[in-house]
Structure 1
Amino acid sequence: MSTLFDGIKSNNFVVIGRAGMDFFPDPPGTATEDAVTMTVGLGGSSANMAAGICKLGGKAALVTRVSDDSVGRYCINQLKRYGVNTTHVTPVGGEYRNSLAVYETRVENHQSVIYRNGAADFQMDKSDVSAVDYNAFGALITAGTVFAAEPSRAATFHAFDLARAAGLPIIFDVDYRPYSWPSAEVAADVLSRAAAQSDMIVGNDEEFGFMAGGVEKGLAKARELSQTTAAAVVYKMGHEGAITFVDGQEIRTGIYPVSALKPTGAGDSFMAGFLTSIADGYDLKTAILRGSACASITVSRPGCAPAMADTATLEKFLADHSGPTES
């Protein structure tokens, strides 16, 4: 337990996983098929988490591959703009392409189209993760999409081994995206293996249910992981809030209701807000609520990384909001 929270309190994270380019139609509410103008922003779950951590005063370095073209260079430039260390973001040539997301800034009839064909980030290999000095960081973070294909899958498990050898706790966002995987059976097996090696696991009710073989079994799966292999497990339930299992406790927290513009980016911003709040010395329940506030801020604004809160935005939101729902 102390190792997990001591690592987080360094507020210096190595993050493994993809950076991508997002497109979303303007103005908000526009359907993609009716779009005339698109806005571009940084996306990709791991890149979003890294950017969100930096916007909230932490440090983050991303480990991934990007396409050796203008789109890959865009991602690197945006990461740098947010303050993310890009030393280990490596271009890859050939036919590999950066992931691309086209999604709408609307909740009703929301459409999101993800392009992951021949994805450059799946080409991350053991040489990429072996080049990292894990002793320079306090904790490792990754999201489930890195495990969906080789050589990225084997590379990330190797990074887990290297991180553990350096004494770093592993923080795992389940982030199950069916379109990235060859089959649900492979995904359930691999994600369960990753969860069993992680010190902190964050996922929603459907993701834990998926690993357990049924959504009705998800809560029991989260509780079991907290009692066996993980020091902390965060079980998210959407508008119903979250249950955090830690040290034999079950901490229930609500959400900060907002008028959401879109459903995307909430999980990544939750993680950034939650971890940096622990690092800033807040108690665990307050840190979870601050993560929830970050999620609410992100869904109320267009984009993913651009919509994530910085410290001033988060503090103003908390000061102005009437408070979280009862858990």
Structure 2
Amino acid sequence: MADLNRINGNNFVVLGRAGMDLYPDPPGTRTEDATRFYSCLGGSSANIAVALTRHGGRASLVTRVSDDAVGRFVLNQLDHYGIDHRFVTATGGEVRNSLALAETRIEDHQSVIYRNGAADFEMSVDDVSAVDYKAFSALITTGTVFAAEPSRSAAFHAFDLARAAGLPLVFDVDYRPYSWASAQEASETYSRAAALCDIIIGNDVEFGFMAGGYDLGLEKARDLARSTAAIVVYKMGELGAITITPDSEFRTGIYPVEALKPTGAGDSFLGGFIAALAAGHAIRDAVLRGSACASIVVSRVGCAPAMPDKSELETFLAGHPGPSAS
């Protein structure tokens, strides 16, 4: 198990996808009725990197983008948010960047994600080997990187290199069925990845999926904390979260808001949670700050542009009556 105090260095290497998000405009518009769209940076790993930089941290992204206008849009957006993209490789041929059309509406919300021939799945062992892991405070990834080769082998190789350098490994399960050849393959691969990680974050469905049954998910989370992980956060949507360490377990609520959309909460939670740990907050406070970040994002348009900075988070916490009962 790595020393989590290293996270205090606040400099993170993040593996995984960056893409383009398109939102029908104005908010509330259905995709099929839209005549204009709002574009922004998307992709779970890129969103997490944005969240970290908004809180004053540094983030370097390791992935691949398409060698076309959409890939260049992504690179420009990474520059806009101050994310280091020297480890992002543009790839030609028939690969394409991830593209998501997501509505800013709760009722009958629709998200359509295009992932055929995804550029980020081309991330290679050479790509991750180019990183000097000793220069970073932790490695962060989401489960998407494991869904296809060569990205899967590259991600596990990055795990090996990061562990050798003493970095904590942070894993957001982030199960997306459409990216996988089979549920069994996904379950086995996620379980293998989780067993290597120091901090694991997922929802009740994802832990249940790894365990082979929804009712077994919480015990799966507890088993990971007892055996290999230092912190496991078991999220339950509106019911809050259960955070488990080798020595303790506690529940926390959420910060109720009037949501505009359901997307982006998980990425914002992880970024806010890790940023809070890096700032020296206790684990419970870090979970609550991550929960507040998630609430802020679902009340705004977009994902990356909706990520709060430190000042916005403090203002939200000061003006909110507090988390719901856990």
The alpha carbon displacement at 1:317 in A equals: 0.6
Shift of 1:65: 0.2
In structure 1, what is the Cα distance between the partners aligned to 2:247 and 2:70? 46
Q: Which runs of 5+ in 1 are unaligned?
A: none
Matched, 1:54 2:60: no
Distance in 1 (alpha carbons) for counterparts of 2:231 and 2:305: 29
Q: Secondary structure at the match of 1:164?
A: helix
Q: What is the deviation of 1:5? A: 2.1
Residue 323 of structure 2 corresponds to 324
Tell me, in whole angstroms, the C-alpha distance in 2 between the residues paired with 1:8 and 1:269.
Answer: 18
1:275 matched residue in structure 2: 274
Rounded Cα–Cα distance in structure 2 between residues aligned with 1:320 and 1:36: 37
Pair 1:292-2:291 in alignment:
yes
Question: Which residues in structure 2 correspond to 1:1-327 (within 5 Å)?
Answer: 3-327=2-326
The CA deviation string for residues 251-287 of structure 1, in whole angstroms up to 9 with x for no partner, is 2111000001000000000011001111111111111
SS of the residue corresponding to residue 27 of structure 2 reads coil
TM-score (norm 2): 0.99
CA distance in 1, matches of 2:28, 2:219: 38
Q: Distance in 2 between matches of 1:294 and 1:150?
A: 33
Matched pairs, number: 326
Equivalent AA in structure 1 for residue 324 of structure 2: T
Q: Alignment partner of 2:280: what SS?
A: coil
- 8 Å contact kept, 1:4–1:231: no
Letter of the structure 1 residue corresponding to residue 215 of structure 2: E
In structure 2, what is the Cα distance between the partners aligned to 1:155 and 1:60? 19
Q: CA deviation at 1:305?
A: 0.3
Q: Distance in 2 between matches of 1:105 and 1:215?
A: 29
RMSD across aligned C-alpha pairs, in angstroms?
A: 0.8
5+ residue gaps in structure 2? none
Report if aligned partners of 1:4, 1:199 keep a CA contact under 8 Å in 2. Answer: no
1:22-66 Cα offsets, whole Å, 9 max, x none, are 001111111100011100010000000001100111111000000
8 A Cα contact 1:65 1:120, kept in partner: yes
Q: CA deviation at 1:229?
A: 1.2
CA contact under 8 A between 2:3 and 2:166: conserved in structure 1?
no
CA distance in 1, matches of 2:77, 2:261: 22
Q: Which amino acid aligns with 1:272?
A: G
Secondary structure class of the residue paired with 1:89: strand
| 1:7 to partner: Cα distance | 2.1
3-state SS of paired residue (1:146): helix
Cα offset, 1:313, TM superposition: 0.9
Could you tell me which amino acid in structure 2 is paired with residue 199 of structure 1? D
- Deviation of the 1:4 alpha carbon: 4.0
| CA displacement 1:199-225 (0-9 Å, x = unmatched) | 111000000000001111101100111
